[in-house]
A and B are shown apart, each in its own frame.
Chain A
Amino acid sequence: MNRSLERILPRVQKPARYTGGEYNAVVKDRRKVEVRYALCFPDTYEIGMSNLGVRILYGVMNNLPWCWCERVFAPWGDMEEEMRAEGLPLYGLESGDSIADFDLIGFSLGYEMAYTNVLNMLDLAGLPVRAEERHELSPIIVAGGTCAFNPEPLAPFVDIFSLGEGEDVSVELLELYRKAKGEGWEKEEFLQAAAQIPGLYVPSLYDISYHEDGTVAAITPRDGAPEVVTKRIVQDFNKSYFPVKTIVPSTEITQDKVTLEVFRGCIRGCRFCQAGYAYRPVRSRDPELLVKYGIEACKDSGYQEMTLSSLSTSDYRHLLKLCDGLLEWCEPEKVSLALPSLRADNFSMNLMHRLQHGKKSGLTFAPEAGTQRLRDAINKNVTEEEILQSCRTAFSGGWSSVKLYFMLGLPTETDEDVLGIADLAEKVYQAWRETTPEPRRGVRITVSTSFFVPKPHTAFQWEGQISMEEYQRRVKLLRDNMRGRSISYNWHDPDTSVLEAVFARGDRRVADVIEEAWRNGAKFDSWSEYFDFQRWQDAFASCGLSMDFYAARRRDKDEILPWDMISTGVRKAFLWREREQCYQNKITPDCRKQCTGCGADKLYPGGECDAE
């Protein structure tokens, strides 16, 4: 181990997250590999190691004998301070080598508030944050993940964005790099060639011009870069890589268990949900394969907890068969099985009952909106009766704690909808009174509201976010009308949601704000310990940009959106139609009932949607 690292570690909190050396970490001979990749997650080790995407890409890349992929996470403030004082640059956990000497550095972008950490990590590596100031073929900075669907706020910092699922395109990119390195290409030559690989967006090959009002006038590709870059998907999910043999951290992480990814995509089409549109079409794994993976992964890791993962687990056609198959092995082995993101129907409740063996952890529902009118408008296809029926089943089975999640500020929301949240909470309380076998134990109903953030590539990508003042007025309205000692109400702080709205639909000019705020100390913005809204307000002011322009402004139908060069496979016209359906309070059937022609089935040859 590096000597200066050894000196630093006794002085920092939780040093095990900075050492590597975990079971199943991949160590290769640095002299025998041709390409070295630093897979960076711009948050702490505990969060990053809980990310399934990181584990998949780590496995896929390390399966290439000529490539060595190492992990890098954002050091917490105390560690950063020590590293800077000691002159220790950001290093790969496996080798301890400085990542500035790696060939490629890839960031996983899961949430907008991690953007400043991307800059901070580049800086800790000793690299210029701007792509134009990095002239050599190495390192190439790559970024992927959900946020890459609007890459523009990070465009000046990143050389290549990878869109959609990374299993195949990462290998194609590495192969191209290997050739370029072998033949001694210039960086520019490499980037132009990379832009020809489907799913890779090279921002420096696109010129953006603006109208006087600040909206985008034109997006002009050059040097043969495509007009539109379409995301990649894994076509046959049964054949795609699953990390059976995966790193077992030696220190506790946020999701410390085996995660079984059941299917990708979602049939539901909630109009606010970026994942619901961006990960289409639905592709699932066979239950037999999942049972085999689950058992092997538990045996190899020693984990005694397994969780099923997908956007809406109860929509898996073979859920019962899968659970039976897993439980047959799990129960005698004392491995517990968790099923998050279930829908509020009776079938799921019975299933939960079976899984929990007398343990009654809290139940969570996300009705998202308080009235049926608004739930229809956002296409959240769940009825009040379904929610209440599930609660009754749960309460009569002995559950006594329910969490209800809502959003405030959804398009078309009125005060009636806001008050509907309090009504629904009250009805849940009545349901408890009618059904509980233990009235003396009491019940805890927790209502949480977050501040709606319009996301790109959704039906609401044209919408304005309501103002912070209006959000706070609605919070107060709800708070004043939330009665009963058994009901508690939490609301999300609006500051980060406004910034999230800015970054989610920002253009390339927002990059200046991110850099300015970072230079003034912004990092770990999703952590309250570090977040400072004033710093961001100052950064916008000094860059001459307005938060409202990005967050609060409603876009016209014909406006060129900053992310129009990116396609998720879902047509813009489809999204607009969904938006109009919202304003008419009309629901759209889910993909299984009927194909509504979103376009995502065209992403692969012979593709079909989930309709029966």
Chain B
Amino acid sequence: MRNSNRLRFTKAGRAKYISHLDLMRTFQRAFLRAGIEITHTEGFNPHAFVSIPLPLSVGFSSQCEVLEFELRRGAELSEVPGRMNAVLPEGITVQKCYEAVKPVKALTYVNYIVTLEYENGAPFGAETAIRDLLSRESLVVLKKSKKAKSGQVEVDLIPLIAKFTVEGRRDTIALDLIIRAQNPGLNPELIVSAIREHCPEASPDYVAFHRKDVLDAQFQPWE
């Protein structure tokens, strides 16, 4: 089965905490509420077939989530955002609905804004320390893995980070990261744990993760 239509949506506020599986269920039900018929799976429990190519971690916000589906009847593509937004829970907003342009395998990079928050102000030198850390030739961290016998594998973060900027403000340090999306992808939480490990003085009290854009191999928006 193939899905040729895509929705681009925002996931923010209270909806940040909806898990990947729950989000798929939420969309399946929302299509039914909106009276938009989409392709179903076969079998004993037929259900609306939707897929999310790049699942978002629970607690992250995003302005560039993509959901794939196949419109059958009940609405024109252009009507879909309005109809869906009327029936989606708070915090999920469909921006547009379109025919897929590039295949999922062309989705190469993700742009994240990671905001490190410091209750007593960003420590002196933290910004530089983080910039130096991310500028190393290699930065190997341990990552949980279900496949490895030890339950952990080593990952070098540097080859997975395509571009970054570090910008310090009074109480926060903002990391603007463009990192690998898949095969293998990089979860920006690993970058924060590397900061905690290698630059303990720069350890934040709280971190907010925001997905800003999804890009192809040429750093152009993936649609």
Chain A residues engaging chain B, CB cutoff 8 angstroms? 1, 7, 9-10, 14-16, 18-23, 25, 248, 250-252, 299-304, 334, 336, 358-359
Output the least CB separation between A301 and chain B (Å). Answer: 7
Output the least CB separation between A355 and chain B (Å). Answer: 13
Q: Does B132 contact A (CB under 8 A)?
A: no
9-residue interface stretch from B14-22, B154-162, B166-174: B14-22
**A7–B206 touching, CB < 8 Å:** yes
Give the complex CA separation of A74 and B8 in angstroms: 35
Select one of A20, A299, A300, A301 contacting B14, CB under 8 A: A20
**B17–A9 touching, CB < 8 Å:** yes
Select one of B17, B28, B59 contacting A302, CB under 8 A: B28
Chain B, range 82-101, C-beta contacts under 8 Å to A:
87-91
Known: A15-B59, A301-B33. A21 touches B14 (CB 8 A): yes
**A21–B19 touching, CB < 8 Å:** no
**A250–B31 touching, CB < 8 Å:** no
Q: Does B104 contact A (CB under 8 A)?
A: no
9-residue interface stretch from B39-47, B67-75, B135-143: B39-47
Output the least CB separation between B205 and chain A (Å). Answer: 8
Q: Which residue of A lies closest to B59 (CB)?
A: A10
Q: Which residue of A lies closest to B34 (CB)?
A: A302
Most central of A251, A252, A302, A303 by chain B CB within 10 Å:
A302
Cβ–Cβ < 8 Å partners of A303 in chain B: 29
**B33–A302 touching, CB < 8 Å:** yes
Output the least CB separation between B57 and chain A (Å). Answer: 9
**B14–A304 touching, CB < 8 Å:** no
Output the least CB separation between B47 and chain A (Å). Answer: 7
Give the complex CA separation of A15 and B33 in angstroms: 25
Cβ–Cβ < 8 Å partners of B17 in chain A: 9, 15-16, 18-19
Q: Which residue of A lies closest to B205 (CB)?
A: A7
**A16–B29 touching, CB < 8 Å:** no
Output the least CB separation between A71 and chain B (Å). Answer: 14
Known: A21-B90, A23-B88, A250-B22. A302 touches B13 (CB 8 A): no
Cβ–Cβ < 8 Å partners of A359 in chain B: 44
Give the complex CA separation of A22 and B22 in angstroms: 12
A-B residue pairs in contact (CB < 8 Å), sample of 30:
A1-B14, A9-B59, A15-B17, A15-B58, A16-B17, A16-B18, A16-B19, A16-B22, A18-B17, A19-B14, A21-B13, A21-B15, A23-B26, A23-B30, A23-B33, A23-B88, A25-B89, A248-B89, A250-B23, A250-B26, A251-B22, A252-B25, A299-B33, A300-B33, A302-B31, A304-B32, A304-B47, A334-B40, A334-B46, A336-B45
Give the complex CA separation of A304 and B33 in angstroms: 11
Give the complex CA separation of A34 and B15 in angstroms: 29
**B89–A302 touching, CB < 8 Å:** no
Cβ–Cβ < 8 Å partners of B59 in chain A: 9-10, 15
A-B interface, 5 closest residue pairs, ranked by CB to CB distance from nearest: A302-B29, A21-B14, A21-B90, A302-B32, A15-B17
Select one of B15, B44, B87 contacting A250, CB under 8 A: B15
Output the least CB separation between A330 and chain B (Å). Answer: 13
Give the complex CA separation of A304 and B28 in angstroms: 10
**B33–A250 touching, CB < 8 Å:** no
Q: Which residue of B lies closest to A10 (CB)?
A: B59
Give the complex CA separation of A607 and B30 in angstroms: 43
Cβ–Cβ < 8 Å partners of A22 in chain B: 89-90
Q: Which residue of A lies closest to B21 (CB)?
A: A252
Known: A301-B33, A304-B32. A23 touches B87 (CB 8 A): yes
Cβ–Cβ < 8 Å partners of B23 in chain A: 250
**A251–B19 touching, CB < 8 Å:** yes
Cβ–Cβ < 8 Å partners of B19 in chain A: 14, 16, 251
Q: Which residue of A lies closest to B15 (CB)?
A: A21
Q: Which residue of A lies closest to B88 (CB)?
A: A23
**B58–A23 touching, CB < 8 Å:** no
Give the complex CA separation of A304 and B45 in angstroms: 10
Output the least CB separation between B99 and chain A (Å). Answer: 25
**B15–A248 touching, CB < 8 Å:** no
Cβ–Cβ < 8 Å partners of B13 in chain A: 1, 21
Q: Which residue of B lies closest to A252 (CB)?
A: B22
Output the least CB separation between B13 and chain A (Å). Answer: 6
Q: Which residue of A lies closest to B31 (CB)?
A: A302
Give the complex CA separation of A16 and B89 in angstroms: 12
Give the complex CA separation of A1 and B206 in angstroms: 16
Cβ–Cβ < 8 Å partners of A252 in chain B: 21-22, 25
**A248–B29 touching, CB < 8 Å:** yes
Cβ–Cβ < 8 Å partners of A334 in chain B: 40, 46
Give the complex CA separation of A7 and B45 in angstroms: 38
Q: Which residue of A lies closest to B91 (CB)?
A: A21
**A301–B29 touching, CB < 8 Å:** yes
Cβ–Cβ < 8 Å partners of B22 in chain A: 16, 250-252
Output the least CB separation between B27 and chain A (Å). Answer: 9
Give the complex CA separation of A10 and B23 in angstroms: 17
Kindly list 10 other residue pairs between chains A and B, CB separation below 8 angstroms, not including A15-B17, A250-B18, A251-B18.
A1-B13, A1-B14, A9-B17, A9-B59, A18-B17, A20-B14, A21-B91, A23-B26, A250-B26, A301-B29
Q: Which residue of B lies closest to A96 (CB)?
A: B14
Cβ–Cβ < 8 Å partners of A10 in chain B: 58-59
Give the complex CA separation of A445 and B89 in angstroms: 43
Cβ–Cβ < 8 Å partners of A299 in chain B: 32-33
Output the least CB separation between A89 and chain B (Å). Answer: 19
Give the complex CA separation of A483 and B47 in angstroms: 42
Q: Which residue of A lies closest to B89 (CB)?
A: A23
**B33–A21 touching, CB < 8 Å:** no
Cβ–Cβ < 8 Å partners of A21 in chain B: 13-15, 89-91
Q: Which residue of B lies closest to A16 (CB)?
A: B17
Output the least CB separation between B87 and chain A (Å). Answer: 7
Q: Which residue of A lies closest to B206 (CB)?
A: A7
Output the least CB separation between A254 and chain B (Å). Answer: 14
Give the complex CA separation of A301 and B87 in angstroms: 9
Q: Which residue of B lies closest to A336 (CB)?
A: B45
Give the complex CA separation of A7 and B117 in angstroms: 11
Output the least CB separation between A72 and chain B (Å). Answer: 16
